[in-house]
Amino acid sequence: MTPGRAEAVAKPGNWHKACFSTLMLRQIFRPLSGSGQVLRLVLGLLGLLLLAQGCSSRVVRPPNSPSVDPTAERLGQAGDRAMGVVQTARGQIGAPYVYGGDSPDEGFDCSGLVYWVYRQNGVEVPRVSGDQYRVGKPVTREELKPGDMVFFKLPGKGSSLHAAIYSGQETFIHSPKAGSSVREEPLEARYWLGHYLGARRVVQDNE
């Protein structure tokens, strides 16, 4: 037996084809006279053609599994209540900034928006941003999930903090300042990233 034939027989899935080819050739060239030899030759050639067609068929391989986006994965892990917080906050986009405001009727300041949104979802947090920063579980920026509270230390604001709600995919919702309105902004913007202080989680993953 030639090396090529031995290799074909050794490979899984090829041994039955090799055996079939050998038997077919033996049947074709087995001594026989008359019309029987011609018929056997024709049938044998047809069998070899079918075998060759089967060997040349392309094997369809499953595509490689797509890479998982860590941000999207964290989004999927957020609980129903956390996503409810985000949806409630988005519902107030466009509401005016009002110092001391904490309702849609009068408008919102930064901590008033956070206070009202969480309260609508059954979660009580303090009214003032400095107190909000002391409740819940601290989380790193890499661990942020939708519904977390995020805080910034802005210049010219003394000891007061700017509070917002992380909405996923490196964005947050907040009520920025007088003359503006509630909006959603990228956390990676130079200004906000430069003044980022930290985050707290008051809604757990299983809620």
Pinpoint the alpha helices (H) of 91-204: 110-120, 129-132, 190-194
The answer to whether the beta carbons of residues 36 and 28 sit under 8 Å apart is no
110 given a catalytic annotation = yes
Q: Which of 16, 19, 55, 162 is catalytic?
A: 162
195 given a catalytic annotation = no
CB atoms within 10 A of CB 117: 27
Phi, psi of 150, deg, nearest 5 = -120, 150
Q: Compute CA 32 distance to the chain's CA centroid, rounded to the nearest angstrom.
A: 68
Question: Which long-range CB contacts under 8 A does 139-142 form with residues at least 24 apart?
Answer: 139/199, 139/200, 139/201, 140/199, 141/196, 141/199
Q: Which of 16, 19, 55, 174 is catalytic?
A: 174
Q: Which of 19, 55, 110, 195 is catalytic?
A: 110
Element containing residue 125 per DSSP (H, E): none
19 given a catalytic annotation = no
SS (H, E, C) 40-106: HHHHHHHHHHHHHHHHCCCCCCCCCCCCCCHHHHHHHHCCHHHHHHHHHHHCCCCCEECCCCEECCC
User: What are the residue numbers of the active site?
Assistant: 110, 162, 174
